[in-house]
Structure formats: structure tokens, C-alpha cells
Amino acid sequence: MTASFLRNRKFQMLLVAAGTAVAGEFKINPFDGDIFRIALGSSAFLLFLLMLRDLPCLKTGALTGIVVLLFRVGLDVLWPNHVPLLQSFCNHISAAVYYVAFGAALKFVRRLDHVHPLLLGGAAACADFISNEAELLTRMLVLGTSSFHLSEWTYLSLIAVLRTYFTTGIYSSMAIYRMRAVQAEQQRRVDQMLSFGSGLYGEVFYLRKSVDTVERLTAGSYELYRDLKSGGHTGYSRRLLDITQQIHEVKKDSQRILAGLLKLSALESADNNMTLSQMGDFCLKSNAEYAGMLGKAISFDQMITADFRTARYIPLLTLLNNLVANAVEAIRQEGTVMLRIYEVQERTWFVVQDNGRGMAEVDRDIAFEPGFTTKFDQDGTAATGIGLSHVRDITDSFGGRIEIMSPVSGTGTVFKVSIPTSSIKRGD
């Protein structure tokens, strides 16, 4: 309820008027007497109206003028050396005219919010100067004061320029900060979506393989049922038919789950795409956080010379994330992970190199088999060992190949994935 009350337009207008009235007491008097003042009130009023875009400028200016007039008259009357009510009203009526004129002028200035801040500041300075003239004209008519000299007008113009540019500078800084905050939040959501999509792709990939396997199993079971039935084995054929029907139901349920996951992860949409450099940035950023979570000091470098767009970024991100995460886990405490992406003879190469403990020669032939792992936790429990097999399956699905090598110098491991460019490059 408090939030809705704060968003109420009338309350916001009253808040602007009150804030302006209070800010107006922080002032200097450039000319004799306390009648004409240069205060923070106009700066606060301008900043409020630039920030609160839904408030009507003219109505807010009129309300602010009334509140400022009543506030200053009240101070004069209640102050120990109080001023007569009528005299105080005549002294400060020009301030009310200033805010009405300033509000009317800002109605047109606020339309320039999309232009360069220098132009916005210049337009606001003109509005401030015109409002000052309206205030001085009112003071001359009400109090009969003398007209100003050219030097005094020049002084007022300078004050208007400095005051409005200072205010628009604050507003521009706040707008930039707010824009950066929104952009950071959007980037965080994009990173979350990519992480979710990359992780979900692995589940979808294996579920699709399972559906294909179940479909072949259903077809084979039905063929066996027909053979048994034609051979006169009625009892066995009937039992096998029941099993085949149950397998068929499992296949249908799996297909429904697969269709839902494909829709959720948008894997069938060709509209989304990403450059290879964006993929590399996201992969290294997420794995840098993973390395920090493991308490490891690892530096990540990348060198990308092939930077085309691809609609298959989800499986490629899954592939890269598995390889880079494997490199992070191979490093004990400190080390370096290098990611290179380049194109040679219509094939795109993804190379991940680390300076960790390396992989034994005898393990390289079986490294991509499901269940193979060299990682154990503190209790001695082995990891699942499906990461590299998943990488191999994704590589095979693109018609590519993968190999494990030792670096030219030093310790570590080099994973090189080669994929036909035509299978991943988005067609223009």
C-alpha cells in the first residue's frame, strides 16, 4: 500500500512542491535585499520534473508556486522579526510566477530528453532565464523596483547556464547509472538462460537417443512377436505383445516429455543465434566463477579468429563448457586455461588447453567411454564420467572429430575438436 501511495501522481506533485520549497531556502542574493534570490529550489524543481516523467509540468509548476509562496510567507510571519502578511505576499508572489513560468517552459524542454545532454542543458538554461525575466517583471509591477542593467542581465544568464547544466549533468549521470543497472540485470538474465539452456541440452540430447532406442526396441519386439505367432508359439507371442505394448507406451511418454523440453529450451528455433566470440566470453566467464567456487586461481585466455554467427550455440556451449570445466578440474590450485577458435579448410576448430596434471597415454583411448573418470571426491566416490562422452556424442552429431594431445612444452592436456563449418554456421 505504501508503494502505491508513493506512485500516486498527486502525492508526487505535492512532494515536488515541498522539496522545492525547502531547497529554495538554500540561497544567495545577488542584488540588494532578500526579494530576488538564486537558490537550489529551481535546480531541485528541474531535477524532479526530469526524473518524474508522468507529472504534468504546468500543473506541477502552479502547485509548486503556491506552496513556495505559502511557505515563504509563513516563514516571514512566524519568524521573530516577522514581516506583515500583505508585504510578505507582495515580496514573494514573483517566486510563484517564476515556478509557473518555469513549469510551462519545461513542458517543451522535457521533450528533448532523447537529445544530447548539452542541448538539453541549453534548452533548460533558456527556460530558466525566461522564468527569471518573468519573476523580475512581476517584481517590477508589484513592488515598483527599477529595471536591471546589462551587466546584471549577463550575470543572471551566467547563473542560469551554470545552474541548469549542473542539474542536467546530475540527471544524465543518474540516467546512465540506471541504464547500466538495467543492462547488468539483462546480462545476468541472459547468462542464466544460457546456463539453463546449455545444461538442458544434455538432458534433451540423451532423452532423444533414448527415444530412438526405445523405438527400435519396439519395432524389434513386434517383429519377434510376429515370428513367434507364425511359429505357433501363441502363449509366448501373447506375452511378448503385452511387453511390446508397454514399451510403446514408454516411447509415447518419452516423446511427449521430449517435445516439452524442446519447446522449453527453444532448441528448434532458428531465429536465435550467437557469435563464436560471444560463446567464448560466456563460457570463460561461467567457468571463471566455477574456478572461484573451487578456490582455484586460474587465468583464462582466448584467441578467436573465426567469429561467425551460429544457431547451434546451445550444443556448442555444452561442448565447450564440458571441456573447459574438465580443464579447470585438472588444475590443482593455480594455472591457465586457453580457448582457441579458428577455421581451416572449411572446418572450425575448438581447442581447449590447460597446464594441469595431464592425462596418461593409456587413458586417452578410453577417455570418451561412458563412465571413465579420473576424478574422485574426498570420500573416494568417483564422478559420473559422462562429460567427455557427451562431448564426443555432440561432436559426432555435427559430423566432427575430437582428439586428445599433449602440449608442445610443459604439462597439461589439449583437446581439439574439429567440426565442418557448414554444419554450424548460420546461413545468410
Report the pLDDT value the prediction gives residue 344, as an integer from 0 to 100.
Answer: 92
Question: Which three cell numbers mark 362?
Answer: 593409456
Task: Give CA–CA dist 89/34, Å, rounded.
Answer: 13
Q: Residue 83 carries which side chain, given as an amino acid letter?
A: V
CATH number assigned to the domain covering 274-423: 3.30.565.10
In sequence order, the 6+-apart residues with CB closer than 8 A to the CB of 325 are 287, 290, 387
Q: What is the pLDDT of residues 340-394, one digit of tens each?
A: 999 998 999 999 999 888 887 777 777 777 655 655 444 444 344 466 888 888 8
Query: In the 8-state DSSP scheme, what is residue 376?
Result: B
In sequence order, the 6+-apart residues with CB closer than 8 A to the CB of 275 are 307, 308, 309, 310
CA end-to-end span of the chain, whole Å?
A: 52
Q: Are strands 334-344 and 413-420 parallel, antiparallel or unpaired?
A: unpaired
Q: Are strands 401-405 and 334-344 parallel, antiparallel or unpaired?
A: unpaired
Question: Which three cell numbers mark 346?
Answer: 572449411
The CA angle 228-248-202, to the nearest 5 degrees, is 130
Specify which residues 303 forms β-bridges with: 340
Please state the domain extents for the chain. Answer: 2-148, 194-265, 274-423
Question: Which three cell numbers mark 285?
Answer: 566467464
Question: Which three cell numbers mark 268?
Answer: 528448434
At how many degrees (to 10) do helices 41-51 and 9-23 cross?
160
- Residue 82 in 3-state DSSP? coil
Report the pLDDT value the prediction gives residue 401, as an integer from 0 to 100.
Answer: 92
The pLDDT profile of the chain, 428 residues, written as one tens digit per residue, is 455 545 677 888 888 888 888 887 776 655 555 444 567 788 888 888 888 878 888 888 889 889 988 888 888 777 766 778 888 788 888 888 888 888 888 887 777 666 677 777 778 888 888 887 888 788 878 777 655 555 666 766 777 777 778 787 787 788 788 888 888 888 777 777 766 666 666 667 667 767 777 777 888 887 887 888 788 777 877 887 788 778 777 877 777 777 777 776 654 444 467 889 988 888 888 888 889 888 999 999 999 998 888 888 878 888 898 899 889 988 888 999 999 999 998 999 999 999 888 887 777 777 777 655 655 444 444 344 466 888 888 899 899 999 988 887 778 889 999 999 999 987 54
Positive or negative: CA dihedral 368, 371, 372, 378: positive
Question: Which three cell numbers mark 109?
Answer: 524542454
If we measure between CA atoms, which residue out of 173, 216, 212, 159 comes closest to residue 39?
Answer: 159
Report the pLDDT value the prediction gives residue 1, as an integer from 0 to 100.
Answer: 47
If we measure between CA atoms, which residue out of 404, 400, 394, 402 comes closest to residue 419?
Answer: 400
Backbone angles phi, psi at 300, to 5 degrees: -115, 130
The CA angle 184-190-194, to the nearest 5 degrees, is 145
